[in-house]
Structure 1
Amino acid sequence: MNWNHDHIVHIGGETETPLDPATETAVWRKRIEPWLSAVFQSEHLSLLVGNGFTTGIANQAGGVPTGMAGSGFGGCPNEDKVSAHAKKMAEAMGRGSANIEDELSAALSLLSGLEILKHADASAWETAIDNVLGEFIKDVLTTEKSIRDGIDKEPAAGGPLAREILVSFLMSFASRAASRERLHVFTTNYDRLIERGCDDAGLRIIDRFTGALEPEFRSSRLHIDMHYTPPGIRGEPRHLEGVVHLTKLHGSLDWRYDHPRLYRVGLPFGAEAGHPAVPASPRHSVMIYPNAVKDVETVAYPYADLFRDFSSSICQPNNVLVTYGYGYGDDHINRVIADMLTIPSTHLVILAWGEKPHERIASFVDRVGRPQQLTLLIGKHFGDIRTLVEHYLPKPAIDPLTIRMSELVERRGKITGKEPDDAGGAQ
């Protein structure tokens, strides 16, 4: 596959270079939007979003994206060895330079050994890790706050509000016919932007947490769903529309662990760092996941349940997985996606922003092969979340009247020899 173009459009096994930027949107929309419309109505649909999703919305809202660069541990003993180990692990995973997750994972491994040895340096590392985690949590909350404050502000350059882009993005995936399986959203992000977007869109979330005051994580999912019985109708109830499944693979800012319970606290979106729900020693309680560099880490509670949901959801026939803002830097996730593609009826859609195709994505695609099962929309044009929402993602419409209107417009276009208007309705 040729990875030398600034923009790569790969649909149905072909790779092409787009036309002049002034005309590429109109040209590619006629091909991309119908294709994605068909793909999104597959029997099973999953969405995996990474930090690029939050960064995109933050940029639209004039906010501050969360930085993932490492910051060090304040000169703790053997810090240079921890940094070297983090760098080695990052390179082994194809990540390149180590980020804060790599550094935390290496530091936590060292701390475990020091605690076993009852070494005097253990207390210094405990304090340093708590400080780094605390600053990282503060950064994520700052990103949430900047999005919250700017989500309804008119952009300086004009265009839709960040809230509209967020809601339209989620609804493009969640607007599925009742006969199809629910959309399943997976994320590696620690922030609550997806939950905020679902609230704004009126989507109901099903996850493994049950309860009202302190929702508790349950291992018994039992395929819980939401139904309703129409007035005057006898027989089986119907599926309630606007329901999605959500799995946060690396945990969340508002998850707390108090052995043996894992529960969710009431931490407001964009809360101040000094909020009572933010603990002073996050190392023991806040369930955010320093990147898995050892397979054994993914079998620990609750991550075994979360990754079991991920694998069982995407590794099934007639499934489509769409990734947006995910950089393919997590081997434990990439391995499951690669296994999914061994099923011939599955399909992977990669939406990614960047100056040029990312080496990790290129490496993953070259390794798995199977170009007929891949759709790639990569580059600054196709990866921009506003451009995606306005021009390429299917419009969120599944009601019978709109679908019927779309069919009539298409038939009339065939009779008159004219192409139907792009604004004619649903996809």
Structure 2
Amino acid sequence: MGTLAEEIKKSDSVISDPNYSALCTAMDSLGLEGAIDSVALLPQTLSEIRRVVWKTVNESDLSYFDSNPTTPPQALVELLHKVLAPTPNKVVIVTTNYDRLAEYSADQAGATTVTGFEGCLIKKLELPNSQLKMRRTRARERIVDIWKVHGSLDWFITPDGTVTSFPLIRSIPGTLQPLIIPPGKEKYSATHDEPYRTVIAEADNAFVQAGAYLCIGYGFNDEHIQPKLLAQISKGKPIVVLARTMTSACRKHIVDAGINKFLVFEYADEMHTKVYGNGWEETYDSQYWLLDNFLKIW
């Protein structure tokens, strides 16, 4: 959020807003999301903030891809393999992030990705043979649903309202607008529109159908996304949370909520992880709040 705030401050269009000084002051005291919510900005300024957020996140995503075109995040790939291995060979990822790390990792895991759009991101030449046919059959049996409830870097809307997707694009095409919901209260109103409305409905279905949940770096601050999740864990479905720093909302909804089956792994210091369970807490050696280390004990 800090990087996004600095990029927004540098935009000429944002600087020209009459309330630019108030926005900068609010960013320093309230953070990016709080500032956007508390300062009255021109409609064109809000559109520019969306553009800057898209450009900043997209540059970071593509920088990762350019450096690692055949090696997606190995911890995430390992996690997908682990969850896909038993029947029913399916993973559901619900994310508020715009990046494509989940898609990269699903391709590496040899799974079919379902995002609501048709097509694949990463392709390699493999001429037909018996082994390839078997692998493609297995890939059709391995499914990774990825529901991006706040939009994706790939999603755009045309002036006539058509929703489309352009994988790995490096700039916003022509008159199209990026379909991402930037930080701020817009996430509550914009998610009533398509494609967010249907994507959130799919996420809700996934929360209801899942037997357990792993939350990585999620702060439990999106009240429009998490009701079904919270309802299910209150009924006894287990949840594991990995967090650099546990937010007050996470503590409220998980640790202090009286649910029966949960573990929260939180950074304690450079050598230790604090783990919270149902009514207890312990400190363990190593950084188990990081996914790659967590997978060593799972």
Contact 1:321–1:347 (8 Å) recurs in 2: yes
User: What TM-score, normalized by structure 2, do the two folds share?
Assistant: 0.71
1:360 equivalent to 2:249? Answer: yes
* Percent sequence identity over aligned pairs: 21
Q: What displacement does 1:255 show?
A: 0.3
What is the aligned partner in structure 1 of residue 78 from structure 2? 168
Q: Structure 1: any 5+ residue segments left out of the alignment?
A: 1-50, 52-65, 88-95, 112-124, 154-160, 213-229, 232-236, 394-427
> Which position in structure 2 is the counterpart of 1:392?
297
State the Cα deviation string for residues 45-69 of structure 1 (Å, max 9, x = none).
Answer: xxxxxx9xxxxxxxxxxxxxx9344
Opposite residue 190 of structure 1, the aligned amino acid is Y
Question: Counterpart in 2 of 1:207?
Answer: 115
TM-score normalised by the chain length of structure 1:
0.52
What CA distance in whole angstroms lies between the structure 1 residues aligned with 2:76 and 2:234?
A: 32
Question: Once the 2 structures are TM-superposed, how far is the Cα of residue 205 of structure 1 from its aligned partner?
Answer: 0.5
Closer, same or farther in 2 for the Cα pair 1:243/1:68, shift >3 Å?
same
Secondary structure of the structure 1 residue equivalent to 2:264:
strand
Aligned pairs, number: 259
Displacement, 1:342?
A: 3.4
Q: 1:347-402, CA deviations, whole angstroms, 9 ceiling, x for partnerless residues?
A: 22111224xx43332232245321x221222225112233123x123xxxxxxxxx
Question: Which of 216, 224, 242 is the equivalent residue of 1:324?
Answer: 216
With over 3 angstroms needed to count, the CA separation of the structure-2 counterparts of 1:165 and 1:182, relative to structure 1, is: closer
Q: Structure 2: how far apart are the matches of 1:265 and 1:168?
A: 27
For the pair 1:374 / 2:262, whether they are aligned, the reply is: yes
| Code of the aligned partner of 1:340 | Q
The corresponding residue for 2:180 is 288
Distance 1:338 1:266, change over 3 A: closer
Q: Partner residue of 1:67?
A: 3
* 1:97 corresponds to 2:30: yes
1:335 to 224, 227, 230: 227
Spell out the pairing of 1:52-201 with structure 2 (5 A cutoff).
67-69=3-5, 71-72=8-9, 73-79=14-20, 97-99=30-32, 101-103=33-35, 110-111=41-42, 126=44, 128-151=45-68, 163-177=73-87, 180=88, 182-201=90-109
- Computing the radius of gyration over CA atoms, which structure comes out larger, 1 or 2? 1
Stretches of structure 2 that go unaligned for 5 or more consecutive residues are 121-132, 268-272, 274-286
How far apart in 2 are the matches of 1:369 and 1:247? 28
* 1:56-115 deviation per Cα after TM superposition (whole angstroms, max 9, x unaligned): xxxxxxxxxx9344644315113456678889xxxxxxxx9322x5555667x754xxxx
Distance in 2 between the 1:131 and 1:298 partners? Answer: 19
Q: 1:68/1:361 Cα in 2 relative to 1: closer, same or farther (>3 Å)?
A: farther
Q: Looking at both structures, which has the greater relative contact order when contacts are Cα pairs under 8 Å and sequence separation is at least 6?
A: 1
2:198 corresponds to: 305
Q: 1:251 aligns with which of 141, 144, 151?
A: 151
Contact 1:152 1:163 in 2 (8 A): no
The one-letter code sitting in structure 1 at the alignment partner of 2:143 is V
- Tell me: CA distance 1:266–1:369, structure 2 relative to 1, closer, same or farther (3 Å): same
Partner residue in 2 for 1:402 = none
